[in-house]
Amino acid sequence: MASPSPNSRRSSSADPLRRRAGRSTVALLATLFTLIGGIAAAAWYFGLLRSGTGARPDLILHRVKLESLPVSVVGKGALESADNRDIICKVKAGSKGTFASTIRWVIDDGSIVAKGQLLMELDDSALDEQYKQQSIAVEKAEAEWFKADNDYLIQLKDNESLIVAAQAALRVAELDLDKFIGLRAEPSLNPFGALVGAHGTIMEKGEYRQKLDDVSARLKAAESDLEAYRERSAWAERSAKLGYLTVSQSKVEQAKLSGASDNYEKLRKEQYILENFMREKDLTDLKSKWDVARIGLDKAIQTAEAKAAQADSIRKTNRSVYQRELDRLREIEQQIKECKIRAPQDGMVVYFKSEQGRSSSGQQLIAIGEQVREGQKLMRIPDLRRMQVNTRIHEAQIGRVRGDDRQATRILDHVRVGMMTLVDPMSRLASQHEQSLNWVQDAVRDREYEIRREGHRASVRVDAFPDKVFAARVRTVAAVAQQADWFSSDVKLYPTQVLITESVTGLKPDMNAEVTIHIDDATEPVLAVPLQAVVGGAESGPKRTVWVMAGGSPVEREVQLGKFNDAMIEVLSGLQEGDEVVVNPKAIAGDKAKVREEMGNGGGRPKGEGGWEKKGGGEGGKKKPGAMPGGGMPKGPQV
């Protein structure tokens, strides 16, 4: 075998060296071409910037033009029914604690129920024991009321007897007084007055006058007898002296004269006493008896009224006690019925959860064995045919959002007045029952308000149906702000309800939704500039300026501003179409330039439920669409 030549050996050893040298040359040429391309691209880019900005390549310009400027507010929220029927615990708490009862059974959350279907059953064992004890108290109170009622009737009879006796005593006293005085009119003693119809002379013809006349008659008779005996005594004395009569016979006549004289003096004294003492004494006595009888009658009447009032008060008190005990018994009976909670309407069961509890992951409060309080909201029965979004609007934009202008129709008050005018008293009484009033309220609840002016138009997009946009309008805007989350306590948000106006199917409560409230649809184009181009804040007063390119250099110019959205702001005066404004004025004035993106600090988009943002047409500089410049939110045109 022949050995290889030296030349062939040298050529074979030199081939690897030549291959390595070739690869190095290619790499060097590639690096060189890359550097040349980068330099050329940089020169081309800076050439374009230099051609647009003259001597200031650091300025970002925007050409002013007519463009649409729609203004809207976007918020996040959760779906809920616009017609919710809250299920509230109506069982009252006892005196031993704040809890009313314990859940014995509850229907599953999300169940579809019909009106009247059982939703929850509360423990009523304590109420059953109270019902038994209260029944005994009602029977006892009823017996006391029956006894007091009969006592009152008996007292009325006793009072009637007492008053009749007092009236009889007064009448007797009046008759005795009238019998004693006996004042009567005598027309015969006043004949001239009788001719003209006047009363006659008043004369006493009573018992006193009778006694006085009797004494006077007897006195006249005694006087007549005295004169007769006086003459007979004188005759007897003369006859005795002449001897016609004896001395004894004369003395007899003298004795008769003395007796007649004594009788006459006695009658005179009797007349004197009768006229001067007995009349006043008997008249005073009879008048006092009449006064006593009159006072006795008044006393009897007052005593009767007092006793009747006392008996009636006892009767009414016992009746009130009985009615109170009976009402308490009925209340306990109603409380036992309230332990079985039924659906007030058709719908879906949704366990109630407060706004604070929506973001928490605590223990479920609505469950078997859990305690419930009086007035606690347990669940809701929403009408899924009418849905709305519960969102929150930032305080910077709440002045722009308008809800429905509603006016109360007072139809419920009118219906109640009409029910009170029913002819049938039983129907009128039944119409005022609580259950009847609840039926009436359910029947007219959709007509309690009339809308005089609808709120702002809105659109709703539900996360579960991203391709569907629902027509809506702003229903209500709260007048009181609701505090945001704890990490943004200085942000004030106003709860706002947006009603979906079209018929919906498939929507469920608590679904996440995005609401766009259309404040201004911008039907006509306006001159607009980016928000970042406006210089000036509240400390500048009404003055706002922008930097405008004039002759290749920026010039500060005062402008008047109008409406705005999250990217652009309307210029009412100070600029013309075609002007170029500087979008980054800080490159000219430095940190002294207070641009509008800094005026919204503290007014940025809050995170979490109920967050909001503004959006609209227009682009400014290199601002990213849909994002706030600098993360802030303007608070309105600072003009």
CATH number of the CATH domain containing 585: 2.40.420.20
Specify whether 176 is located in the same domain as 286. Answer: yes
More confident residue, 39 or 179: 179
Q: Which of the four pLDDT bands, split at 50, 70 and 90, describes residue 17?
A: very low
Where is the domain boundary, 283, 317, 336?
336
Q: Which of the four pLDDT bands, split at 50, 70 and 90, describes residue 252?
A: confident
- Structure token digits, residue 629: 């410049």
Report how far Cα 266 is from the mean position of its chain's Cα atoms. Answer: 97
Q: Is the pLDDT of residue 187 over 70?
A: no
374 domain-assigned = no
Q: Which residue has the tokens 């006595």?
A: 285
544 domain-assigned = yes
pLDDT tens profile 547-575: 999 888 899 999 988 887 778 888 988 89
487 domain-assigned = no
pLDDT tens profile 118-139: 999 999 998 999 999 999 999 9
User: Which residues, at least 6 apart from 537, have a Cβ–Cβ distance to it below 8 Å?
Assistant: 594, 598, 599, 638
Q: Is the pLDDT of residue 12 over 70?
A: no
What's the number of domains the chain is made of? Answer: 2
User: The domain containing residue 304 runs over which residues?
Assistant: 162-336
- % of the chain residues with pLDDT over 70: 72
pLDDT tens profile 360-412: 444 457 889 899 988 889 998 888 888 999 999 888 788 888 888 877 777 77
Q: Which of the four pLDDT bands, split at 50, 70 and 90, describes residue 57?
A: confident
101 domain-assigned = no
More confident residue, 522 or 21: 522
257 domain-assigned = yes
* N- to C-terminal Cα separation, the chain: 105
DSSP class of residue 623? P
Helix, strand, or coil (residue 561) = strand
Specify whether 166 is located in the same domain as 311. Answer: yes
Q: Which residue has the tokens 């994002």?
A: 627
- How much is the pLDDT for 536? 80
Contact 491, 473 (CB under 8 A): no
Amino acid identity of 403? G
Where is the domain boundary, 336, 356, 375?
336
Mean pLDDT of the residues in the chain? 78
User: Which residues, at least 6 apart from 562, have a Cβ–Cβ distance to it below 8 Å?
Assistant: 526, 569, 570, 571, 572, 637, 639
- How much is the pLDDT for 303? 93
Q: Which of the four pLDDT bands, split at 50, 70 and 90, describes residue 177?
A: confident
198 domain-assigned = yes
- How much is the pLDDT for 83? 82
Rounded average pLDDT over 337-361: 77
Going by DSSP bridges, is the β-strand pair 512-520/553-564 parallel, antiparallel, or unpaired?
unpaired
CA distances from 294 to 160, 289, 290 (A): 16, 9, 6
More confident residue, 103 or 442: 103
Cα separation, 397 vs 456, in Å, equals 13
227 domain-assigned = yes
pLDDT tens profile 289-338: 999 999 999 999 999 999 999 999 999 999 999 999 999 999 999 999 99
Cα separation, 131 vs 482, in Å, equals 44
pTM of the model: 0.50
Specify whether 318 is located in the same domain as 186. Answer: yes
Cα separation, 206 vs 406, in Å, equals 90
Q: Is the pLDDT of residue 452 over 90?
A: no
The sign of the torsion formed by the CA atoms of 435, 437, 438, 442 equals: positive
Q: Is the pLDDT of residue 165 over 90?
A: yes
- Structure token digits, residue 166: 């007092």
Specify whether 328 is located in the same domain as 192. Answer: yes
* Number of C-beta neighbours around residue 20 at 10 A: 10
- How much is the pLDDT for 72? 83
Q: Number of C-alpha atoms within 13 angstroms, CB side, residue 99? A: 10
Give the range among 87-101, 118-132, 496-510 with minimum mean pLDDT. 87-101
Where is the domain boundary, 312, 336, 360?
336
- How much is the pLDDT for 186? 58
Contact 528, 577 (CB under 8 A): no
Specify whether 67 is located in the same domain as 181. Answer: no
As a three-state string, the secondary structure of 287-330 is HHHHHHHHHHHHHHHHHHHHHHHHHHHHHHHHHHHHHHHHHHHH
- How much is the pLDDT for 581? 93
- How much is the pLDDT for 232? 86
Rounded average pLDDT over 87-94: 86
48 domain-assigned = no
Q: Is the pLDDT of residue 471 over 60?
A: yes
Q: Is the pLDDT of residue 4 over 50?
A: no
